[in-house]
A and B are shown apart, each in its own frame.
Chain A
Amino acid sequence: MATVEFQGKSFEVDEDGFLQKFEDWSPDWVEYVKEQEGIKELTDEHKKVIEFLQDYYRKNGIAPMVRILSKVTGYKLKHIYELFPSGPGKGACKMAGLPKPTGCV
C-alpha cells in the first residue's frame, strides 16, 4: 500500500493506483489520476460516466456491467474508450474511486 499526496490531500492506493477506500474519493482524486489514465482535459462526458459509476456503486455495492454503463450514459463502448483510453474498468472505475475489478481479467 502506498500513500499519494496531491494538492494537500492524501490518498491511500494499491499497486495499480486504485483507491483503497471509496469514501476517500474527492474531485481532486480525478485531477490526480487523469494523467496516468491518458486524459488531458476532463469534460462533462467524463463526469457523467464517473457520477453514474458512483451512484450505481452506492446503490448496488458493485460496479455496473459494461452494457448497463452504455445504456444509461448513452455512450457506446467505443466512445467510452475515447473518453477513458484504458477502458471502463482500469480507467473510469479507478477515477470514480470504485474498488479494483477482480476475477479472471
Chain B
Amino acid sequence: MAKHQTPMLDELTKGPWPSFVDDVKAEAARRAENKDGIEFQIPADVCEDLLGVLELSYKDKETHWKHGGIVGVFGYGGGVIGRYSDVPKQYPGIAHFHTVRVAQPGGKFYTTEHLRALMDIWDLRGSGLTNMHGSTGDIVFLGTFTEQLEEIFYDITHKLNNDLGGSGSNLRTPADCMGMSRCEYACYDTMALCYALTQEYQDELHRPAFPYKFKFKFDGCPNGCVAALARSDLSFVGTWKGPIRIDQKAVAGYVGGELKPNAGAHASRDWGKFDIQKEVIDLCPTKCMSYDGKTLSIDDKECYRCMHCINTMPAALRVGEEKGVAILAGAKAPILDGAQMSSLLVPFMKVEEPFDEVKELVENIWEWWMEEGKNRERLGETLKRLGFQKILEVTGVQADARHVQHPRENPYIFWKEDEVGGWKRDIQEYRKRHAR
C-alpha cells in the first residue's frame, strides 16, 4: 500500500514510454521489502515521499522545494546541490533532498561492475534514485541528507577511485562525444582531450575561482553529438584540412542502390531511389561538388566541411587525413543578455598529447576573463561587452576573415592610438587654419 495517494502521477504509468513513476514506485517497493537487509542511512520511504510531494506539486502547480541550499564536502566549493522541502512535516523522507554530482567517464562507457558499486553506495546512503546523466554529463545521485555527504564522498573516492563533478562559479564537468571509440567521423580523440583537461583542471573544477560557471565540451566533428557549440563556453569541434577522401567504387554502390544513403537512417519511409544529384550535390552549401555519372568530384578548397555529403554516403566519403580541432567560444543560455552559440576563435589546431597548445589557449582566456569578467558574467557576455578583438589579443590569435560571418555594417570603428599617429591635438593649432 503506497504511503501517499498519487492519482495524477498514476496516469503517467500508462502509455508505451518507460514511466519514471513506475520506476520510482518499483524502487519504493524494493526499499520497503529490503531483501538484502540494508541499513538505510536516510529514510527508507524517501521514494514514496518524493512521489507524494510531486503529486502535491501537480495539484498546486508549483514547486515545493525551498530556495537554494549550501552544502558540500570539505576541500571542495561545489559538487553538491543542496535542496530542502518546504513541506518537511508531511514528507519527512525528503526533508533534505540533496543532489550529488559524480564525475562520469568519457563517452559514458561503463562496466556493470562499476555501476553496481556506485549503486551499492547510493542504495545505502541515498534515495536509490538517479539521473543518468545530468545535461552537463555528470552521474547524478538524486536525494540524500547532509550527514551522508562526507560518507558518500569517502566511499566513492576510497572504494571506487571516482570523484565529484563540478558546480558553482567554476569549471563544470567536461563532456565529450564518443569520438574515436566508435565513430569513423572523429577528427581527434575527444575522450583523450576531455579526460586530459578534466584532470589538468581539477582545482578549477572543485574550487570556484571564476566570475561565473565555465564549461568545456568536445565534439569529434561538426555533427556536434555533445552539442559543444550550444552548451559550452569553450567548444572543441573536430575538423580537418585538405581533401575529403572519396572511394569512387562505393559512390557507385550508393548510386546503384547497393548502399543505403545515411546508413539507412530514413529507411522507415519511402523516399524513392537515391538521387545523388538531388540529395548530395544540390544540397552542398557551397556547391563545390559535382557528379558526371561516373566520378564524384569535390572542390575541397571551397568545402565548409559541413559533413552533409559524408553523413549521406559514409561508406564512400571520409574526413580528410590532416585532422585537428576548431575552437569556439562564448555559448550560453539566455540569462542575462540573450542566448549565444559559440563563435569561432581558432579555425584549426592540431590535437596532440600532452595538449600543450590547447592548455595555453584555455589558460590565456581564463587569465583574462578572471580579471575582466564581472560578477556572474559568462565568457560570451564578456565578449559582447569588451569586444571579440580582445579575446584575439589575449589569446594571440590573428584576426582573419573566418572570425566573422559578415563584416560590420556600422562605421563605429575604434582605432588604436599608435595606429593613427596619436590623439593629442591642440585646438589652437587647428584654429589657425579654421577660424571660428
- Using an 8 Å CB-CB cutoff, how does the interface string of B63-74 with A read, 1 for contact, 0 for none? 000111111111
Q: Do A105 and B209 touch (CB < 8 A)?
A: no
Q: How far is the CA of A95 from the CA of B69 in the complex (A)?
A: 16
Shortest CB–CB separation between residue B172 and chain A, in angstroms? 10
Q: Do B74 and A16 touch (CB < 8 A)?
A: no
- Using an 8 Å CB-CB cutoff, how does the interface string of A56-88 with B read, 1 for contact, 0 for none? 000000100111000000000110010001111
B144 contacts partner chain A, Cβ-Cβ < 8 Å: no
Shortest CB–CB separation between residue A39 and chain B, in angstroms? 10
Q: Do B70 and A100 touch (CB < 8 A)?
A: yes
A103 contacts partner chain B, Cβ-Cβ < 8 Å: yes
- Which of chain A's residues have a CB closer than 8 A to the CB of B73? 86
Q: How far is the CA of A87 from the CA of B73 in the complex (A)?
A: 10
Shortest CB–CB separation between residue B212 and chain A, in angstroms? 9
- Which of chain B's residues have a CB closer than 8 A to the CB of A102? 67-68
- Which of chain A's residues have a CB closer than 8 A to the CB of B207? 77-78, 81, 87
Q: Do A81 and B75 touch (CB < 8 A)?
A: yes
- Which of chain A's residues have a CB closer than 8 A to the CB of B203? 78
- Which of chain A's residues have a CB closer than 8 A to the CB of B71? 16, 90
- Which of chain A's residues have a CB closer than 8 A to the CB of B376? 103
Q: Do A105 and B375 touch (CB < 8 A)?
A: no
A15 contacts partner chain B, Cβ-Cβ < 8 Å: yes
Interface of A is mostly: loop
Shortest CB–CB separation between residue A15 and chain B, in angstroms? 5
- Using an 8 Å CB-CB cutoff, how does the interface string of B190-223 with A read, 1 for contact, 0 for none? 0000000000000100011111010000000000
Q: Do A90 and B70 touch (CB < 8 A)?
A: yes
Q: Do B168 and A105 touch (CB < 8 A)?
A: yes
Q: Do B375 and A18 touch (CB < 8 A)?
A: no
Q: Do A66 and B213 touch (CB < 8 A)?
A: no
In chain B, positions 74-114 with a C-beta closer than 8 Å to chain A are: 74-78, 81-82, 84, 96
B370 contacts partner chain A, Cβ-Cβ < 8 Å: yes
- Using an 8 Å CB-CB cutoff, how does the interface string of A85-105 with B read, 1 for contact, 0 for none? 111111000100000111111
Contact A101:B371 (CB < 8 A) given known A85-B75, A89-B208: no
Q: Do A38 and B74 touch (CB < 8 A)?
A: yes
Q: Do B69 and A87 touch (CB < 8 A)?
A: no
Q: How far is the CA of A102 from the CA of B70 in the complex (A)?
A: 8
**Neighbour of A105 across the interface among B75, B81, B210, B371, CB < 8 A:** B81
B169 contacts partner chain A, Cβ-Cβ < 8 Å: yes
Report the number of A-B residue pairs with Cβ-Cβ less than 8 Å: 68
- Contact-residue size bin, chain A (C-beta under 8 Å from the other chain): 20 to 34
Interface of B is mostly: loop
B167 contacts partner chain A, Cβ-Cβ < 8 Å: yes
Q: Do A16 and B69 touch (CB < 8 A)?
A: yes
**Neighbour of B72 across the interface among A15, A62, A90, A100, CB < 8 A:** A90
**B67, B69, B74, B213: most-surrounded residue (chain A CB, <10 A):** B74
**A65, A78, A89, A100: most-surrounded residue (chain B CB, <10 A):** A65
**Neighbour of A66 across the interface among B76, B78, B169, B371, CB < 8 A:** B169
**B72, B73, B96, B213: most-surrounded residue (chain A CB, <10 A):** B72
Q: Do A87 and B375 touch (CB < 8 A)?
A: no
Q: Do A89 and B70 touch (CB < 8 A)?
A: yes
- Which of chain A's residues have a CB closer than 8 A to the CB of B67? 102
- Which of chain B's residues have a CB closer than 8 A to the CB of A62? 375
Q: Do B74 and A67 touch (CB < 8 A)?
A: no
Residue of B nearest to A76 (CB): B209
- Which of chain B's residues have a CB closer than 8 A to the CB of A87? 72, 76-77, 207-208
Q: Do B370 and A67 touch (CB < 8 A)?
A: yes
In chain B, positions 229-283 with a C-beta closer than 8 Å to chain A are: none
Q: Do B209 and A67 touch (CB < 8 A)?
A: yes
- Which of chain B's residues have a CB closer than 8 A to the CB of A94? 70
- Which of chain B's residues have a CB closer than 8 A to the CB of A85? 74-75
Q: Do B167 and A105 touch (CB < 8 A)?
A: yes
Shortest CB–CB separation between residue A72 and chain B, in angstroms? 15
Shortest CB–CB separation between residue A104 and chain B, in angstroms? 7
Q: Do A86 and B77 touch (CB < 8 A)?
A: yes
- Which of chain A's residues have a CB closer than 8 A to the CB of B210? 66
Residue of B nearest to A17 (CB): B70
- Which of chain A's residues have a CB closer than 8 A to the CB of B168? 89, 104-105
**B68, B70, B213: most-surrounded residue (chain A CB, <10 A):** B70
Q: List 8 A-B contacts (CB under 8 A).
A: A15-B96, A66-B209, A77-B207, A77-B209, A85-B75, A87-B208, A105-B78, A105-B81
Residue positions of A touching B, CB distance < 8 A: 15-16, 18, 38, 62, 65-67, 77-78, 81, 85-90, 94, 100-105
Which 10 residue pairs across A and B have the least CB separation, nearest first? Answer: A87-B77, A85-B74, A16-B70, A105-B168, A38-B74, A15-B84, A77-B209, A90-B70, A102-B68, A65-B375
Residue positions of B touching A, CB distance < 8 A: 66-78, 81-82, 84, 96, 167-169, 203, 207-211, 213, 370-371, 375-376
Q: What would 5 more interface pairs be, CB under 8 Å, given A65-B211, A86-B72, A87-B208? A: A67-B370, A78-B203, A89-B168, A100-B70, A105-B167
